[in-house]
């Protein structure tokens, strides 16, 4: 039962199925099984295979079979022409549903071709071993991209028009006010954002005050020393309950380095530095963080296979880096998915994800969940991670709250 959604915006409910356009969600066929990608109004449907996940994020152009390419490109060209005409007419695709502004005859042809490509991908590509993880993350990201950000540039508009301020104002006012992630933008699984959408991952810290919560305040939940704790987890070593960098100061560096210096020294060693300054600490580092064992366990000489079933092509030099960074990225997403489930039906929501931290647009009426959210974030497959929370009325001015216990 092949079908295609007519728009990727959750409020634009409509599908193409069996040469027809359907708009009544309650009367959609219940045995839908294959489509290209997930849209939030499909939340209640089970047993649907999503070809985009089979293709690991490759575009329809990239996976289109040879015998369909000419027809597909013709439809793509026609779609581009229609979209350009809408832009000339100042009709926003962000503010309108595609099926309200594109002709039905075209939507049918376009979706039928997507059906054929989706079917080809699912028939010819093996189902990814981490499909369930990819799918739950894609559902969460689909929800995030439908949440319009509250952007306030007025404080910066009053500042002297330096090149930096001019570029900032241009950057945040010319893009879409939505965070739209690319789930497949890196080989490690770290998120990127799609072009022309809000650049949350590259927004400088000093410029983050342009973002205001739509509820009462932002809450940022962040792992303490995510990559170091992932390293301990991969080695099946216990997780210190205290700040991991402080633990290293005391147990690895004999209180001879301060916290920032210990952090710098640790990562220099972790990713291959042979500085003479580290020589006196190497034995303790190797005893507590056995890099060689991890590389031998997870690298087969050509690929790293992470605990999240990602296969990453790598030489030996990059193997540990890829293993730790990819596992940390997927772990943060796995915990964010758990948080999304806890918040179902609440006003508080995940606003965006920045590397290893989850930022909530928090509603005061959900305050009884505050500690539970922190504990949930830290309850990982690799043991209990220390999680810190920061709270503020904008994304720049966040003050650290009590750590979760």
* Average confidence (pLDDT) over 68-91: 94
- Specify the pLDDT at position 168: 87
Instruction: Give the 3-state DSSP-derived string for 234-290, with helices as H, strands as E and coil as C.
Output: HCCCCCCCCCHHHHHHHHCCCCCCCHHHHHHHHHHHHCCCCCHHHHHHHHHHHHHCC
Assign 274 a pLDDT band (cuts: 50, 70, 90). Answer: confident
DSSP code, position 385: -
CA 53 to CA 38: how far, in whole Å?
9
Residue 27 has pLDDT above 90, yes or no: no
Assign 142 a pLDDT band (cuts: 50, 70, 90). Answer: very high
- Specify the pLDDT at position 156: 86
* Burial of residue 385 (number of CB atoms within 10 Å: 0-12, 13-18, 19+): buried
* Average confidence (pLDDT) over 215-236: 96
- Specify the pLDDT at position 10: 84
CA 336 to CA 326: how far, in whole Å?
15
Mean pLDDT of the chain: 94
DSSP 390-403: EEESSSSS-EE-PP
* Average confidence (pLDDT) over 6-21: 93
Assign 405 a pLDDT band (cuts: 50, 70, 90). Answer: very low
Give the least confident one: 63-72, 155-164, 361-370: 155-164
- Specify the pLDDT at position 284: 93
Residue 253 has pLDDT above 90, yes or no: yes
- Specify the pLDDT at position 235: 96
Q: Show Cβ contacts of residue 297 under 8 Å, excluding neighbours closer than 6 positions.
A: none
Residues 53-74 have pLDDT tens digits of 999 989 999 999 999 999 999 9
- Specify the pLDDT at position 230: 97
Residue 78 has pLDDT above 70, yes or no: yes
Residue 181 has pLDDT above 50, yes or no: yes
Assign 95 a pLDDT band (cuts: 50, 70, 90). Answer: confident
Enumerate the domain spans of the chain. 4-127, 135-235+291-405, 242-289
* Average confidence (pLDDT) over 295-324: 96
- Specify the pLDDT at position 338: 98
- Specify the pLDDT at position 329: 97
Which of 280, 285, 165, 200 shows the shortest CA–CA distance to 235?
285
Residue 402 has pLDDT above 80, yes or no: no
Question: How many Cβ atoms from other residues are within 10 Å of residue 383's Cβ?
Answer: 15
Cα distances from 2 to residues 111, 112, 119, in angstroms, run 10, 9, 8
Residue 50 has pLDDT above 60, yes or no: yes
Residue 242 has pLDDT above 70, yes or no: yes
Assign 30 a pLDDT band (cuts: 50, 70, 90). Answer: confident
> 21-28: long-range contacts (C-beta < 8 A, 24 or more apart)?
21/99, 21/104, 21/107, 21/108, 23/99
Residues 334-359 have pLDDT tens digits of 999 999 999 999 999 999 999 999 99
- Specify the pLDDT at position 222: 96
* Average confidence (pLDDT) over 135-154: 95
- Residue percentage of the chain with pLDDT more than 90: 85
Q: Which pair of tokens denotes residue 267?
A: 């990562």
Q: Which CATH number fits domain 135-235+291-405: 3.40.50.280, 3.40.50.300, 3.20.20.100, 3.30.70.370?
A: 3.30.70.370
- Specify the pLDDT at position 99: 93
- Specify the pLDDT at position 223: 97
């Amino acid at each position: 039962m092949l079908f295609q959604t007519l728009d990727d915006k959750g409020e634009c409910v409509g599908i193409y199925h069996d040469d027809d356009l359907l708009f009544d969600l309650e009367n959609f066929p219940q045995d839908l099984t294959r489509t290209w990608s997930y849209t939030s109004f499909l939340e209640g449907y089970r047993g649907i295979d999503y070809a985009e996940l089979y293709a690991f994020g490759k575009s329809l152009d990239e996976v289109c079979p040879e015998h369909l390419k000419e027809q597909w490109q013709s439809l793509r060209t026609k779609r581009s022409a229609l979209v350009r005409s809408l832009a000339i007419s100042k009709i926003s695709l962000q503010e309108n549903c595609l099926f309200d502004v594109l002709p039905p005859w075209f939507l049918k042809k376009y979706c039928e071709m997507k059906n054929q490509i989706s079917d080809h991908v699912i028939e010819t590509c093996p189902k990814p071993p981490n499909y369930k993880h990819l799918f739950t993350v894609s559902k969460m990201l689909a929800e995030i991209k439908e949440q319009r950000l509250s952007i306030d540039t007025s404080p910066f508009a009053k500042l002297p028009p330096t090149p930096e301020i001019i570029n900032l104002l241009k950057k945040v006012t010319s893009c879409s006010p939505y965070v739209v992630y690319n789930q497949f933008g890196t080989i490690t699984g770290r998120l990127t954002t799609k072009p022309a959408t809000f650049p949350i991952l590259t927004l400088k810290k000093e410029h983050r005050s342009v973002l205001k919560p739509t509820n009462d305040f932002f809450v940022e939940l962040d792992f303490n020393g995510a990559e170091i704790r992932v390293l301990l987890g991969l080695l099946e070593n216990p997780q210190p309950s205290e700040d991991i960098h402080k633990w290293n100061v005391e147990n690895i560096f004999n209180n001879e380095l301060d916290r920032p210096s210990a952090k710098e020294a640790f990562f220099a060693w972790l990713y291959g530095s042979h500085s003479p300054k580290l020589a006196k600490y190497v034995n303790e580092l190797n005893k507590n963080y056995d890099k060689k064992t991890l590389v031998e366990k997870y690298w087969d000489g050509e690929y790293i296979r992470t605990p999240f079933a990602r296969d990453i092509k790598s030489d030996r030099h990059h193997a540990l880096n890829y293993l730790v960074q990819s596992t940390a990225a997927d772990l943060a997403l796995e915990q964010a998915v758990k948080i999304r489930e806890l918040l179902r039906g609440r006003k508080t929501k995940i606003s965006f994800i920045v590397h290893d931290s989850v930022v909530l647009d928090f509603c005061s009426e959900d305050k009884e969940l505050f500690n539970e959210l922190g504990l949930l974030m830290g309850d990982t497959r690799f043991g209990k991670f220390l999680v810190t929370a920061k709270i503020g009325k904008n994304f720049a001015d966040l003050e650290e709250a009590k750590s979760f216990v």
